[in-house]
């Protein structure tokens, strides 16, 4: 198996053959279940090396002109477009998602590179003239320093580009710790940044597990931490890093609801539910995992979804006909299947049992899609973030109860409503407690010029990720107050022209 190492100070860094205590992990191909790479886990010393490289590169990168920084991002965008098929193939080989999903992920990452390229506009300060007699005030945005970025397995290109692009554009240097389950995409991104002209040490990639994460969180050189992952880990990272005085944005889990009102287009809602619940095997924090059927719409909606499920093609992500690939690991596949197995004992109806799908018995980490009906809020399938191809249907009699159901959930990442009633949609938008809302849009991920993030247990910290809020997160504001002597009253000859 090929060995995957790290990327430090502009070069690939594999562990020395005789390095004492070196630990390794395995990167699998989820479609076959076979081990394809050996991954070197970074020790605390190796992470410190990457942080030192970032700290050494900081003064030079911070002093680099905005136009030269922007040039890096224009070149990077060109390289990403040129090599997007290669990037998508890397994602599919280690994550398992189908190539069309992987290509879409690259495209969404490109949006953030394009946003970062406009850094000259984003980093503008403010200026007020004559706030007092002869006194002016202006503000500037300056980088926070070395930034630690810790990213999840489900979007190994998009999420790193969410964080790294704007952090670097703002003049910071970065140590990126990608998921140990699919690390190769992050290393390829680092190569492309270097090819685009990014100086050595500005972006470093370390692979590993909790030891590497803790080394980032505990380092006094790291001034800010960005994280995307599960809620328990997000909370832990926020508490540990913020206690050490670091700026932290930690995005956690979700339980995204899709509310369908009686006046909705049932066929369109069913299409949306299937794509939003089962796309990327449900392994995304914006996946719809709860469908809230309001009034008498439940039976027709469940029947329409069941019909569509029977037509889904599940297979290797490299096969053109595949619409859904495998899950990331065998352990996660089995965990997801457990929710389906336990559902009947809790009182839910298993309309479609994905664990009984023949694909689940084959090689690789495959699982069929499941549809649960008559789910109640006390059931485990409702309470937990399953992060797999399982859709739960909850039935409520009224719009008001649907809103209460969503608002009482511990998560507040994304939510959607399907209706033809503009008044109901506006009221829903006004009352609902979630960071991202879709109206007849099942996965309301904002475009790169807005910011992504949830409420409640879906976010720890006060800044959403990418877009304008990321500029605020990755910079510190400095306010300068100036007063200069009147040249006419100065006894020093300043060389001003005279009519004498």
Active site residues: 285
CA angle (127, 130, 136) in 5-degree steps: 50
Distance from C-alpha of 459 to C-alpha of 444, rounded to nearest angstrom: 17
Q: Is the torsion defined by CA of 244, 250, 252, 258 positive or negative?
A: positive
Distance from C-alpha of 47 to C-alpha of 81, rounded to nearest angstrom: 31
Q: Is the torsion defined by CA of 460, 466, 467, 472 positive or negative?
A: positive
Contact (CB, 8 A) for 144 and 172: yes
Distance from C-alpha of 438 to C-alpha of 406, rounded to nearest angstrom: 14
C-alpha distances (whole Å) from 228 to each of 22, 100, 234, 259 are: 27, 23, 7, 26
Contact (CB, 8 A) for 325 and 92: yes
Helix (H, G, I), strand (E, B) or coil at 24: strand
Distance from C-alpha of 410 to C-alpha of 231, rounded to nearest angstrom: 10
Those residues whose C-beta lies under 8 Å from the C-beta of residue 214, and which sit 6 or more positions away, are 44, 240
Contact (CB, 8 A) for 481 and 487: no
Where is 223: in which H helix or E strand?
Answer: strand 222-228
Those residues whose C-beta lies under 8 Å from the C-beta of residue 398, and which sit 6 or more positions away, are 294, 295
- Which backbone phi and psi does 294 adopt, to 5 degrees? -100, 135
Contact (CB, 8 A) for 469 and 123: no
Of the candidates 162, 165, 195, which has an alpha carbon nearest to the alpha carbon of residue 83?
195
Of the candidates 174, 166, 154, 150, which has an alpha carbon nearest to the alpha carbon of residue 234?
150
């Amino acid at each position: 198996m090929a060995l995957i190492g790290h990327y430090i100070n502009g070069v690939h860094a594999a562990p020395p053959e005789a390095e004492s205590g070196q630990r390794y992990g395995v990167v699998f191909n989820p479609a076959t279940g076979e081990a394809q790479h050996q991954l070197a886990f970074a020790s605390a010393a190796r992470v410190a090396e990457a942080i030192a490289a970032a700290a050494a590169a900081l003064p030079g990168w911070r002093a680099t002109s905005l136009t030269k920084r922007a040039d890096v991002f224009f070149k990077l965008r060109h390289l990403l477009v040129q090599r997007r098929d290669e990037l998508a193939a890397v994602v599919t080989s280690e994550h398992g998602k189908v190539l069309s999903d992987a290509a879409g992920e690259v495209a969404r990452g490109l949006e953030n590179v394009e946003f970062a390229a406009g850094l000259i506009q984003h980093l503008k300060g403010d200026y007020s003239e004559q706030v007092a007699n002869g006194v002016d005030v202006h503000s500037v945005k300056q980088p926070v320093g070395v930034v630690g970025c810790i990213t999840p397995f489900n979007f190994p290109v998009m999420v790193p580009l969410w964080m790294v692009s704007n952090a670097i554009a703002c003049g910071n240097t970065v140590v990126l710790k990608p998921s140990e389950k699919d690390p190769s995409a992050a290393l390829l991104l680092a190569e492309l940044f270097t090819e685009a002209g990014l100086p050595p040490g500005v972006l470093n990639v370390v692979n590993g597990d909790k030891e590497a994460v803790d080394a980032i969180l505990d380092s006094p050189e790291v001034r800010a931490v960005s994280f995307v992952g599960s809620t328990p880990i997000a909370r832990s990272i926020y508490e540990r890093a913020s206690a050490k005085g670091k700026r932290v944005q930690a995005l956690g889990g979700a339980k995204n609801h899709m509310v369908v009102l009686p006046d909705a287009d049932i066929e369109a809602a069913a299409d949306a539910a299937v794509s939003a619940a089962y796309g990327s095997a449900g392994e995304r924090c914006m996946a719809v995992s709860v469908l809230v059927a309001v009034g008498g719409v439940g039976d027709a909606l469940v029947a329409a979804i069941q019909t569509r499920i029977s037509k889904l093609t599940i297979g290797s992500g490299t096969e053109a006909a595949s619409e859904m690939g495998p899950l990331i690991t065998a352990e996660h596949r089995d965990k997801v299947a457990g929710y389906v197995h336990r559902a009947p004992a809790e009182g839910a109806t298993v309309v479609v049992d994905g664990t009984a799908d023949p694909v689940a018995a084959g090689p690789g980490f495959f699982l069929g899609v499941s549809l649960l009906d008559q789910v109640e809020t006390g059931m485990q399938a409702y309470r937990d973030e399953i992060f797999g191809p399982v859709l739960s249907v909850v039935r409520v009699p009224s719009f008001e109860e649907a809103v209460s159901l969503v608002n009482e959930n511990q998560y507040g990442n994304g939510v959607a409503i399907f209706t033809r009633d503009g008044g109901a949609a506006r009221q829903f938008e006004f009352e609902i407690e979630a960071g991202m809302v879709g109206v007849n849009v099942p996965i309301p991920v904002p475009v790169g010029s807005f910011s992504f993030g949830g409420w409640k247990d879906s976010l720890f910290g006060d800044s959403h990720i990418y877009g304008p809020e990321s500029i605020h997160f990755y910079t510190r504001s400095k306010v300068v107050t100036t007063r200069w002597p009147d040249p006419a009253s100065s006894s020093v000859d300043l060389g001003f022209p005279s009519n004498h």
